[in-house]
Amino acid sequence: MSQLFDPRAFRDTLGQFCSGVVIATGCENSQPAGLAAQSFSSLSLDPPLVLICPAKTSTSWPKIRASRAFCINILGDDQKRVCDVFAKSGIDKFAELNWRLGASGSPIIEDVLAYVDCELDSEYEAGDHTIAVGRVLEARIVDSSREPLLFFRGGYGSFDAFSDA
Ligand SMILES: Cc1cc2nc3c(=O)[nH]c(=O)nc-3n(C[C@H](O)[C@H](O)[C@H](O)COP(=O)(O)O)c2cc1C
């Protein structure tokens, strides 16, 4: 390990990268499972692939993996409570949630900004996480009138455009 490497500085530096927040969901034996994540990214346009990086300590991901499918639910800035619930371990995260099953058989959470429904294409070891690649079956914008939930420096916020896209 480089002499320069400082684990605290590493985490604080990563915190300078602002990201959206998603809920990765899946359903095994009709039991829904899910976790909050920020490690979501588009990967390939053709074929349509995305990725998410679950921690090896996650108790939900093995259930999602077993279903060979997952759905990425992109949260709006009014859905921090959903994020809080899905960031906890060992609770019934779907107890107070409305959702429906997507084409992959994975839960699509009500009122998200958008979702990306996938088959699990492949998974790669990467330190204390894995890189899970999803082959997209369906991608839909649910509500383009709201702003996204953002995660930055360990806190949450919303998007304030200073120029039109
Ligand atoms: C904003 C935010 C982003 C997160 N990003 C990730 C992530 O990218 N990968 C991951 O495995 N866990 C991530 N987590 C932590 C998981 O949500 C948490 O460990 C998980 O919900 C634990 O539950 P489980 O045991 O049911 O999987 C994040 C949590 C928060 C609040």
Q: Are 90 and 59 in contact (CB under 8 A)?
A: yes
User: In total, how many domains does the chain have?
Assistant: 1
φ, ψ dihedrals at 9, nearest 5°? -65, -35
The dihedral formed by the CA atoms of 158, 23, 57 and 137, expressed in degrees to the nearest 10: -130
Q: Calculate Rg over the CA atoms of the chain.
A: 16
Is 2 inside a domain boundary? no
Nearest CA to ligand 1 atom 28: 37
Is 131 inside a domain boundary? yes
- Nearest residue to 89 via CA among 129, 62, 118, 108: 62
From 25, 35, 40, mutation site for ligand 1 pocket: most ligand atoms within 8 A of C-beta: 35
Is 95 inside a domain boundary? yes
DSSP 35-72: EEES--EEEETTTTEEEE--BTT-SSHHHHHHTTEEEE
d(Cα 142, Cα 94) in Å, to the nearest integer?
20
- List residues near ligand 1 (CB under 6 A): 21, 35-39, 53-55, 58-61, 83, 86-87, 89, 151
Q: Are 157 and 147 in contact (CB under 8 A)?
A: no
Is 1 inside a domain boundary? no
Is 151 inside a domain boundary? yes
Is 22 inside a domain boundary? yes
| Secondary structure element (H or E) that encloses residue 93, with its range | none
Provide the pLDDT for residue 164: 65
Provide the pLDDT for residue 115: 98
Is 112 inside a domain boundary? yes
Is 118 inside a domain boundary? yes
Tell me the residue range of the domain where 114 lies.
7-162
Q: What is the mean pLDDT of each run of 10 residues along the chain (165 residues)?
A: 90 97 95 98 98 98 98 98 97 96 97 98 98 98 96 95 72
CATH code, domain carrying 132: 2.30.110.10
Provide the pLDDT for residue 142: 98
> Which residues sit opposite 156 in a β-bridge?
151
